[in-house]
Structure formats: structure tokens, C-alpha cells
Amino acid sequence: MRVLSGIQPTGRFHWGNYFGAIRQYIDLQDEHDGYYFIANLHALTTIRDPEQLRSLTLDAALDLLALGLDPAKAILFVQSDVPEVSQLTWILMTCTNMGLLERCHAYKEKKERGITADAGLFTYPVLMSADILAYDANWVPVGQDQVQHIEVCRDIANSFNHHFSEAFVLPEARLLSDAAKVPGTDGEKMSKSYDNTIGLFEDEKASRKKIMRIQTDSRPMEDPKEPEGDHLFQLYQLMADEAEIQEMADTYRRGGFGYGHVKKALAEVAERYFAEARERRQRLASDPDTLRDILADGARRARLKAAEVLDRVEQACGIAAPAVAAK
């Protein structure tokens, strides 16, 4: 099966990104044909600083490689390095009903909040569809909030297939696990939008400071506490081993402890959990030529597939000259 996913470089990755999605992408690369890209074209709807976008794009690639994405197993590339996708987007636009885009939740939410939505945001699902269809992707790992976009992709592909020919493989959403609901420092879902994140590769002192500020309830120290549903415990069990998780759960149920004890333990297991990734990232960051080579090779391999699909689509809709049989 071919698996495809893109991640926007709109900020540095945090624990929620890793446990909610990135870790699962990395697991999939061992069993499937993986295409993973840095969605810098999508990021243009929110980032207007060119140097910031360039920096975040490279940071995203470094982070993914440091976290275990293996270019020998999966294709890693930058979205804009595959121009065939932009060309395919226009073709898909001609088969996309306006009402379909008007119903998409990202556009509707901004409109309802009185925020000006540009044409990029409005047509975002079409570019996303081109991202998926350009590589004949079978599975797209997404959270529940992105399932609608996969349904839109299928609708657009079906529209083209109906008008012309069966040129597109229809993708299926592969739902990410409940780990996507990683609690932030305020107990809500960890998200840059809520300013409640803990960065994967930020300074360890800064991470500890954020951990020590995680909001907790006001129950007395001596009271026993149920660990399930406690957001500190939820974070701890993402990174601790089974024996440590059991010991911490027992501590909760006995009572007689302060949340500062849990926060300190959380900081320690987090530093241990990401220690190898931190070391790999430092090595990669000190060798920019290798990073450029990985992304260039990924783009080359991605373009081969995208060009094959684009040619098939252009032949189907009549904007390419018919293939001439060899004599």
C-alpha cells in the first residue's frame, strides 16, 4: 500500500505533533511505500515572511529525519519541489463544484468568525487533493478533523473519472489513534493555536519550565487520586516504560504526593525519551549538504511518480498530444 502525508511548517514541532501523527508515520514506513512531504505551499496561507518559511521548512525536514523518518524506506520531499502538483491542482479545479468547497469546515469556520479568507484557503482542499492523487496514494493518515478533506478528494477524483476516464486511484483515510489528543500545558489538546505546546527540540531548561507550569487541580497532597484522565499522567505514560507507569499509577492511588513530584518525573522521562533524536538532529544540522541531498533525491523520486500521473490525467482530458506509437 502507498501511504502519503504532509505536514505544514507553520511552527516548530511539539509533543502533540509527534505522538499524534509523526510517530505513526514513522511506524508505517516499515510496512508500506511512504511519501511524506513538507507542505510549504499550504503554509503560504498563514506565513508571509519568506525567511521564516524557508527556515521552518528546513527545520521540519531536520526534525522528521531526527525522529526516525528513513529516506531509505520512505520518500521525504518539499511540496513546492514537485511542480506537477500545482499543474494538477488547476486541472482538478475545473472538476470541483464551488458548493463542495463552501462546505469545507476550515473555510466555514473562518467565515463564521468574520476572518477574511483568501482564495488559497478556499481552494486549499483542491491542492490537498492534488497532493494525494499525484502519487496514487491508497492511505492518508489523518485525524478526525481532516477526514472531510479526504472525502472531498474522493469526490473531486470521482468527478474527473466520470467526465473523462478512470485516471485516479481513490484514496482512503487512515484514522490516527487517540494519541492525537495529547494534552497541552493547560489540559486542552496541545496545539500552537492554544499556545500550550512543549517543543520537541527546544532547550531542555525551557521545556522543564513549561512542564513545571502545567495546570493541575487543587486536591490536597494527602488525597488519593485516580491517574486515568489526569493530563499529567497522560503525558507521563506516553514516554515512560511499563514499570515506571505502574509505579506512578500506584503513587497516584496512594496519595501523599505533590504534583511537583510528577512534573519532575515527566521532565526526566521526556529528556531520556528524546535524547537519541536530539543527538541525531545535532549531527544532521551540522551537515547541511546531506540534508539538501536527501530532499533533492526525495523530490526527484516524487516527481517521477507525479509526472506519470499527470501525463495520464492530461491524456485523459485532452490537453496533451496523443501518444504516438513507435513504428
Which sequence positions are flagged as catalytic? 110, 189, 192
**What phi-psi label fits residue 29: left (phi over 0), alpha (psi between -120 and 50 degrees) or beta?**
alpha
C-alpha cell at 145: 478533523
Alpha carbons 124 and 91: distance in angstroms, whole number: 14
For cell 487512515, the residue is 174
Centroid of chain to Cα 96: 25
Helix (H) / strand (E) element for 159: namely helix 147-163
List 5's β-bridge partners, or say none.
36
C-alpha cell at 72: 531509505
Task: Please check whether residue 262 is in contact with residue 289, taking contact to mean a CB–CB distance below 8 angstroms.
Answer: no
C-alpha cell at 187: 489540559
Handedness of CA 25, 30, 35, 36 (dihedral sign): positive
At 63, give phi and psi (nearest 5°): -60, -45
C-alpha cell at 109: 469556520
Residue 77 CB coordination number (10 Å): 24
At 74, give phi and psi (nearest 5°): -135, 160
Amino acid at 292: R
C-alpha cell at 315: 491524456
For cell 509527534, the residue is 18
- What angle, 0 to 180 degrees and rounded to 10, lies between the N-to-C axes of helices 259-273 and 204-212? 150
Amino acid at 203: D
